[in-house]
Amino acid sequence: SSENAVAIYEGIYTEMIDSLKSEGGYLCNSVDRKKLRRHMWPDGKNLNRDIVGKPAQYIAEQAEINIPHYTKLLMVLGEKPGPEDRFSGEKLSPVLTVWKWSDFSEMIERTIKMLKFSGEGHSVSIHSLDQDRQIELALKVNVGRVNCNMPHAMANSGSWFNGQPFTDSLGCGTWAGNMTSDNINYRHFLNYTRLSIPIEEYVPSDEDIFGEYLSKLQIKLK
C-alpha cells in the first residue's frame, strides 16, 4: 500500500521535489529512466521479480545507474497513464512516478486511467484541506479507500487514527473481480443468524424512493 505515484500541483512542484530529495529521493534523468525501465520490464511488459521489495541502491546498481549513496527512493517523471508507460502501473519497489498538474479535474481523469491500467478498486490519497476536492476525488475514482491527509501505507490497512479495520488484505470490489471493497477482517469470516419477526407494514411510494434522484434529472413521476 505504499505510494506508487505522486501528483504534485505545479505551484509547489519544485519545493516538493526538493523535499523528496532531502529525504533520500533521486530524480532520474531521461537516460536513467530508459535504463530503469529496461531493467524493471525486460520484455517490455512483465515486471522483473528481482526488483520486488529491493532497496533503491540495489535496483540502481542492477540497472547501471549511478546514484548518491544515501538514496532511498528512485523517482521518474510520468509520461502517459496506461500500458504505453509502464511506470504508471504497479512497481512493488521504491520507485515513485511523479506527475505535475495544474487542473485538478484533469489530474483526476489521469488518475482514473492509471487505476484502470493497474490498481482499480484499491486506493488513492489526497493531501488537501479543500473538502470539495476530497469529495470530488472520492466520487469519481473507482477505489475502496480514499485517504485524506494521512500516510497512505499506514492508513490503508487500518489504523487507530482513521478507524479503518485492521487487515492484511484489501478488497478491491467488483472493479477488480473481488466480492467486496472492504478491508478484509474477522467480521467477514463470521456466520450471522438473523431472527426475523413481523412488524407493521410500511410500503414506500415511488416518490419516497426515487423522488430526490429523479428531480435532479428533471423527470416527473406520473
Domains of the chain, residue spans: 5-118
d(CA 167, CA 178): 16
d(CA 81, CA 86): 8
Which of these ranges, 30-39, 66-75, 206-215, has the smallest mean pLDDT? 206-215
d(CA 124, CA 106): 16
d(CA 6, CA 99): 6
Confidence (pLDDT) at 222: 72
Provide the residue type at 28 as one letter.
Answer: C
Residues contacting residue 92 through CB under 8 Å, at least 6 positions apart: 47, 51, 52, 53
d(CA 169, CA 184): 6
- The helix-helix angle for 104-117 and 131-140 (nearest 10°) equals 30
Structural fold of domain 5-118: Aldehyde Dehydrogenase; Chain A, domain 2 (3.40.309)
Question: Residue 85 in contact with residue 44, Cβ under 8 Å?
Answer: no
Confidence (pLDDT) at 213: 87
- Give the CA distances from residue 47 to residues 10, 95, 177, 180, in Å, rounded to whole numbers and listed in that order: 30, 13, 22, 27
Confidence (pLDDT) at 220: 81
Question: Residue 123 in contact with residue 167, Cβ under 8 Å?
Answer: no
Strands (E), 54-200: 73-77, 95-101, 121-126, 143-148
Strands (E), the chain: 5-9, 25-27, 73-77, 95-101, 121-126, 143-148
Provide the residue type at 160 as one letter.
Answer: W
Q: What is the pLDDT of residues 156-209, one digit of tens each?
A: 999 999 999 999 999 999 999 999 999 999 999 999 999 999 999 999 998 899
- Asked if the model's pLDDT at residue 18 lies above 90, the reply is yes
User: pTM, whole model, 2 decimals?
Assistant: 0.87
Which of these ranges, 6-15, 133-142, 156-165, has the smallest mean pLDDT? 156-165
Confidence (pLDDT) at 1: 83
pLDDT range class, residue 217, cuts 50, 70, 90: confident
Q: How does 70-102 read in b/e, with b if 16+ C-beta sit within 10 Å?
A: ebebbbbebeebeeebbbbbebebbbbbbbbbe
- Give the CA distances from residue 171 to residues 2, 101, 145, in Å, rounded to whole numbers and listed in that order: 16, 29, 10
